Structure 1
Amino acid sequence: MIVKLSFEFALDIIEFTELLEEKRKYVIANQILKSRTSIGANIREAQNAESKIDFIHKFKIAAKEADESEYWLLLCKFARNYPESEPLLNKLQEMKRIISKIIITSKAR
């Protein structure tokens, strides 16, 4: 589920960054695109982890990227003349909860 969710989220981010670029918000668009698509990339890498430690590590990186993504999206939310980011923030919160549960569950095993 998290693999599919993170992939769909990355697609949403691509569309959002295209809106930002149309508004000539290139710096923010670039930051968001890198951090947001990295979440899914790390989750995908975790699927082929060499060990439990490696699996947890990849998910921790995804969690860090999610936190960074949240920062950039909050900037968009509160800055003037930026596209609406609330739906993306809501999806991100859901992903952060799932990532956190996966990390906690994996550590407990």
Structure 2
Amino acid sequence: MATGGDKVFDIKERTFLFAKAVIFFVKTVKIERVFMSLFVQLVRSATSVGANIAEGKSGSSRNDFLKFHIIALKSANETTYWLRLIKDTLEVQVTKIEELIEEIEEITKILATIILKNKAASSV
């Protein structure tokens, strides 16, 4: 989710932009009733990533922060799953899905790094 060719480095903003991109993508797809649940799950998990980061940032302790970032990481992994499943089973905009997969994989790596660094800091 680049802005003017530059990546957004604030994870809270980046996940917000990602969630918006998923919502706008889903709005463009003609969804058959039988596949509706795939897209509902995708939107639910994609929006959950940023929501948990936002909640974690306002946590009262490092443990709260860590807990919500771990939940966000799980939601990011789930989002990757739904995107891959939609890409491999439905005739949709493959290029856009690949962009979304690439972005959520980058977000996943960032979240994993944040979690590992905070766990290390907690054990010091």
TM-score normalized with structure 1 length: 0.93
Would you say the 8 A contact 1:19–1:83 is kept in 2? no
Deviation at 1:23, TM superposition (A): 3.0
Runs of 4+ in 1 over 2 A off after TM superposition: 22-25
Alpha-carbon distance in structure 2 between the residues aligned to 1:17 and 1:68? 16
CA RMSD for the aligned pairs?
1.1
Deviation at 1:18, TM superposition (A): 1.2
Max Rg structure = 2
Deviation at 1:3, TM superposition (A): 0.5
Alpha-carbon distance in structure 2 between the residues aligned to 1:97 and 1:32? 19
Higher RCO (CA < 8 A, seq sep 6+): 1
Residue 103 of structure 1 is matched in structure 2 by 115
TM-score normalized with structure 2 length: 0.82
Residue 88 of structure 1 is matched in structure 2 by 100
Gapped regions of structure 2 (runs ≥ 5): 1-9
Calculate percent identity across the aligned residue pairs.
33
Residue 66 of structure 1 is matched in structure 2 by 76
Gapped regions of structure 1 (runs ≥ 5): none
Deviation at 1:17, TM superposition (A): 1.6
- Equivalenced residue count is 108
| 1:24-63, Cα deviation, whole Å (9 max, x unpaired) | 3421110100000000000000110111111100000000
